[in-house]
Structure 1
C-alpha cells in the first residue's frame, strides 16, 4: 500500500513545537502513562531535587538514486539519542515509534539502545515517538512528534545519494523529586545532569537497569551514522545553564524556609532586608538564564 502523507491521529499527550536550534531547548516533564502493569516506584524520593536528561530526536533520510522506485525512493532512520551519542539506556526503558498506518506493523517497540529503526518509503509523515522509562525513574512517559523529511530544501541543492537529509531537535527531559536508586545510578553518567548534592549525603548502592549490562548495547559512540548527526556544540553550555537554574531554585527554597521561620507579621529587620535583596538578585539571575537559553 502506498505511503501517503496523512498525519497520524492526535493523542492525549504533550505535543512539542520544533526547536530551531540547540540554543532554545524545550524542558519536558513526563505525562501519565496508561499502562497499569507498570509498577509504582516505591523507592524513597528526594524532594527539591531535579534531574535533567538532554535528548536529541530526529530522522535521517538517504535518497536511493538509481535503486529508487515509486514506492521506495528513500531509506530513512528515526531515532532518539544523547546530544553526543551517550548511552540513554541508563534512563530509557524502551521507545515506541508509531509509523504511518500504511506500513506493516506500524507500531514498533525498541527495548535497548540505540533507540532507532530504519525503513524505506517515498512519503513524508508525522512519527509519534513515545519514550518510556525504567521503573525507578518514572512511571510516566513522554510523547514527541517528528515530521519525517525526505527531500532537501531548494537552497540545499538537488538530492544526493551521498548526503542525507537530517532533521533533529534537542530537548531536555526533567525528572523532579527522583528516587534514590535512580539518582545513585546516574550520579556520574555523562548522559545525565545531576545537581550538586549536600555534603555528607549518602545514596544507596546503584542498581543497574535491565538493559545496561548487555554486551554491545551501550556502544552508541561508534554509531555508523555518527558523522551525519548534527553537532550540538552548545550542549555543554546548556547543561551549565541547567546547573545554574538548579542552584537558583535551591537558593529560593532555602530563602523561603528562612522567611517561613520569621515569627509574626513581617517586620523591618536586617535579616528581612538581606533575604529580600537576595531574592531580587536571584529573580534577575533567572531572567538572565531565560534570555540566554
Structure 2
C-alpha cells in the first residue's frame, strides 16, 4: 500500500513595480506586486500549478486581512506596499492528498524574479495523476485504488485495535504532526475536547498510517 510519489518543481514568481501613489514612508516608494504559484514542465516551461486545490498566503500582520486564501490556479495574490518581508504560502494538493509549505521572500531588487522548490507529489489519487501528466511522466499505479484502499484500511484498523500502546502512540503522533491536522488543533482552545473521525484525515495521511501499521511486526 506504499504511496507513489513523483518529483516536480514549483515556482513562486513575483512581479513588482513602483506606482504613482504616495507612500506612507518617506524614501520608500509604494509598489504594486503580484505573486503566482506555477509548476515547471520537463523543458522548464511554466504553467499554473493545477496540482493544488488552494493556496493560503500568510502576509505580514500589518496588512489588512493578512491571511489570504486563493482557490484558482495560478493562485495569484496582488497587493501593494513599501516594505520587503518574508511570508509563508501553504498549498494543498487536490482531493486532500496533503499539503506543502513554501517560504517566499518579497524583495524589490528586480521587477521579475522567482524561487524554485523541488517537491514530492503523491500520485495515487486519480485526479492528481491526471494533472501531473500535463507536466511530465508519472509512474504507473500499483493497484486499483478504491478496492485496495478500503480492504487494506479494514486490515490495519483491526491490527491497530489489537496493538500495544507503543504502536497506537506512534500512530497518534503521525496524525498530530501532519501539517493539516496540527493547524486545525492550533485553532482549538486548550481546554476543549474533540474527536477526529478517520474520514476527516487527508487521504495521503491515511495511506501513510496504513503502510506503517501493516509493515509493523505483529503483536506478541
- In structure 1, what is the Cα distance between the partners aligned to 2:75 and 2:84? 21
Q: Which residue of 62, 72, 80 maps to 2:37? A: 80
**CA 1:87–1:77: 2 relative to 1, 3 Å:** closer
User: Is the CA contact (8 Å cut-off) linking 1:186 and 1:194 kept in structure 2?
Assistant: no
User: Is the CA contact (8 Å cut-off) linking 2:90 and 2:100 kept in structure 1?
Assistant: yes
SS in 1 for 2:130: helix
| Residue 173 (structure 1) aligned with residue 151 (structure 2) | no
Task: State the superposition RMSD in angstroms.
Answer: 2.7
Q: Deviations over 1:106-149 (max 9, x none)?
A: 0000001121111111011111111111125x1x2111111110
Q: What's the CA shift for 1:53? A: 2.6
Correspondence list, 1:45-84, <5 A: 47=2, 49-64=4-19, 66-70=20-24, 73-83=30-40, 84=45
TM-score (norm 1): 0.41
- In structure 2, what is the Cα distance between the partners aligned to 1:187 and 1:173? 13
Correspondence list, 1:117-132, <5 A: 117-132=77-92
User: Is the CA contact (8 Å cut-off) linking 1:94 and 1:111 kept in structure 2?
Assistant: yes
| Residue 94 (structure 1) aligned with residue 54 (structure 2) | yes
Correspondence list, 1:174-213, <5 A: 174-176=120-122, 178-182=123-127, 184-186=129-131, 188-189=133-134, 191-195=135-139, 197=140
Q: Which runs of 4+ in 1 moved over 4 A?
A: 201-204
Q: What's the CA shift for 1:171? A: 1.8
Q: Deviations over 1:34-90 (max 9, x none)?
A: xxxxxxxxxxx6x473222321013221112x444235610111221123232322x
- In structure 1, what is the Cα distance between the partners aligned to 2:66 and 2:34? 14
How many residues align structurally?
Answer: 138
Structure 2, unpaired ranges of 5+ = 146-220
- In structure 2, what is the Cα distance between the partners aligned to 1:108 and 1:57? 16
SS in 2 for 1:120: strand
More helix by share: 2
SS in 1 for 2:126: helix
- In structure 2, what is the Cα distance between the partners aligned to 1:74 and 1:52? 35
- In structure 2, what is the Cα distance between the partners aligned to 1:188 and 1:58? 22
TM-score (norm 2): 0.54
User: Is the CA contact (8 Å cut-off) linking 1:52 and 1:193 kept in structure 2?
Assistant: no
Q: What's the CA shift for 1:102? A: 0.8
SS in 1 for 2:46: coil
**CA 1:102–1:184: 2 relative to 1, 3 Å:** closer
